[in-house]
Amino acid sequence: PGVSKAYNEGAELAKFLDKKFLFILDQDTILPINFPSSYQSSVTLFPNYPLYAPQVYSGNLLFSPCRYIFRKGSNFSSIKPGKHKLLYKNVLNSGLLVDLDAFRTVDGYDENVKLYFSDFIFFDRLKKYYKYFVVLDCRLDHQLSSVDYSNIEIAIKRFSYYCTGARQASRHNLLAFINQFVVIGIRSLLMSYRFKSFKFFFIYKEFFLGFTG
């Protein structure tokens, strides 16, 4: 059913257990030893915000939070801890601490988006109700998910999730759709060449463009 369904189920369990926050963590993220105190001090210093986001790196590159304009993400060289505007920014799922009242206010994650872009769409939902979030003074190291180039079945499934998420994320913005149309179209051709199979182009046509048959 995808990660969005899992996060929503986790939030329901947290509500039943009378918790205040939902903590989201990917299996390929490494936490620093002092992460509990880093999160706690930020929540104490900046109470009552909808979301607390760590600084997520892959190697030496900061991936989250990122700059997000016309539904296209780009990397910051660095970002200061503390209160930030939600506008023109976005985050990755891993490491997020979400206030459960805010989670319910925005109706959680979009379960139609099973994996890729689920975080961007959730953050866009927050922007409709809130102006600010908090960046934590805490670095997480993350291994970015990539297609398994040794297994075509896994690659096909992931690429279908990617195309579906991209379509959902850009469906209300023509410029973003055009950008994704080009980027994902090229990617589908490269994947088809790598695996010597046109299945990736047909996935792009069906799951991103919406053409079947």
Residue 145: pLDDT above 80? Answer: no
Beta bridge partners of 51: 98
- Mean pLDDT check: name the lowest of 85-89, 168-172, 191-195: 168-172
State the DSSP string of the chain: --HHHHHHHHHHHHHHTT-SEEE---TTEEPPTTHHHHHHHHHHHS-S-SEEEEEEEETTEEEESEEEETTEEE--S---SEEEESTTEE--STT-EEEHHHHHHTTS--TT--STTHHHHHHHHHHTT-SEEEEEEEEEEE------TT-HHHHHHHHHHHHHHHHHHHTT-HHHHHHHHHHHHHHHHHHHHHHT-THHHHHIIIIIS----
* Nearest in space to 92 (alpha carbons), one of 73, 77, 110, 111: 73
Q: What pLDDT does residue 213 have?
A: 64
Which range has highest mean pLDDT (97-111, 145-159, 179-193)? Answer: 97-111
Q: What is the mean pLDDT of residues 22-40?
A: 94
Please tell me the pTM assigned to this model. Answer: 0.86
Taking the C-alpha atoms of residue 204 and residue 162, their distance in angstroms, rounded to an integer, is 9
Residue 140: pLDDT above 60? Answer: yes
Q: What pLDDT does residue 150 have?
A: 73
Q: What is the mean pLDDT of residues 22-27?
A: 94
State the CB neighbour count (10 A cutoff) for residue 122.
25
